[in-house]
Amino acid sequence: MHPVRFELAASDGFARTGVAHTAQGSYRTPCFMPVGTRGAIKYLSAADYERLGAEIVLGNTYHLMLRPGAETVAHFGGLGKFSAWGGLTLTDSGGFQVFSLEPKVDDDGVTFKSTYDGSLHRFTPEIAVRTQELLGADIQMVLDVCPPLPSRPEVVRLAVERTSMWAARARVAHQRTDQALFGIVQGGIDEALRVESAQRTVALDFDGYGIGGLSVGETRHEMLPALAAALAHLPADRPRYLMGVGDPASLVEAVGLGVDQFDCVMQTRIGRHGTALTGEGKLHVKNAKHALDDGPLDAQCACEVCARHSRGYIRHLFQVGEPTAARLVSLHNVSWTLQLMDRMKAAINNGCFQSLRSDVLAVWG
């Protein structure tokens, strides 16, 4: 039996709602997973995640293995207990760092330079599995190669080959039956490569499937056909995870194609610089026009920040360099995104997803 079982609740076109059951608990889909790179979502705590209604939080294997070290996290009982988070956890493999840090990559694995002290570290598919078993997340991802876009065809082809080869090795290395292992589909924006990568990954019979290598330089117009090509070959009884995507337009478009879960750092990255997500688009709260504005960040938002604080107050906090400002807008952005996912669930369940999609794209498209 697989550690993750997907139970379909409703569908509207390709969009679907359901429940994914893991060995340690369940999560409702479609879902957004806030990113806690080093064991915490920036400016937030586990108590915040619970209050906001998050069900899964993502951690970064690369950063956690360097600081504090996977063995240290294991000593505390795994990432969830270490961070006092009672929900589910997912760890990425370090594959995104193959994209962002440009390490030395060969057929066997990757050699990273630490962003903390410059020391060199070897990472292979087997080491990625063992490290994530120590981190103890409920779901771990295989090590993959994520090429930037645009890339030459031979670069994307090599990424598919290595990702497939590494996935097979990870499948063999994985030992923890209480921890799910997701494979990853690559292929850039080449639809044929996406199909091939999906088929090769599915043949290895993973607990769920990530679609990687998107939102790395291509336009949404280029991303969606490649995403659809991969999704058409992923099994309906396993979760489908679009990695690193979290802007509202892409979320609603991807859910419409059948994606179940997402993660993104955007919510807190733009939040700490004063940009709020709202039903009318991005709000730059540091702008002078908000100095005397007594309205909330978003009048339609149900979060605690919008219930309590004005735009004028939050702008003042940014103006004087008060760290609370970054915390408040980050809280709002995570909550706003989780509320959007809830709206999508309700729309799918009620058979009116296309109406919601149109509304979101009218603002964010």
pLDDT at 1 over 80: no
Q: Residue 286 domain-assigned? A: no
- The domain in which residue 140 lies consists of 35-264
Total tally of structural domains belonging to the chain: 1
* Mean pLDDT of the region 307-336: 98
Question: pLDDT band at residue 269, thresholds of 50, 70 and 90?
Answer: very high
pLDDT for residue 163: 97
Using one digit for the tens of pLDDT, what is the confidence trace for 5-20?
A: 999 999 999 999 999 9
* E strand residue ranges, the chain: 5-12, 15-21, 26-29, 31-34, 56-60, 88-92, 104-105, 110-113, 120-123, 139-141, 180-185, 208-211, 240-242, 261-264, 275-278, 281-284
CATH code for the domain in which residue 164 is found? 3.20.20.105
Q: Residue 349 domain-assigned? A: no
User: What letter represents residue 121's amino acid?
Assistant: H
Q: Residue 363 domain-assigned? A: no
Using one digit for the tens of pLDDT, what is the confidence trace for 78-116?
A: 999 999 999 999 999 877 776 678 789 999 999 988 889
Q: Residue 324 domain-assigned? A: no
Q: Which residues are catalytic?
A: 92, 263
pLDDT for residue 326: 98
pLDDT at 296 over 70: yes
H, E, C per residue of 224-280: HHHHHHHHCCCCCCCCEEECCCCCHHHHHHHHHHCCCEEEECHHHHHHCCCEEEECC
* Mean pLDDT of the region 187-211: 98
Q: Residue 62 domain-assigned? A: yes
Using one digit for the tens of pLDDT, what is the confidence trace for 53-77?
A: 999 999 999 999 999 999 999 999 9
Q: Residue 231 domain-assigned? A: yes
Please identify which residue in the block is written with the tokens 């079982």: 5
Q: Residue 351 domain-assigned? A: no
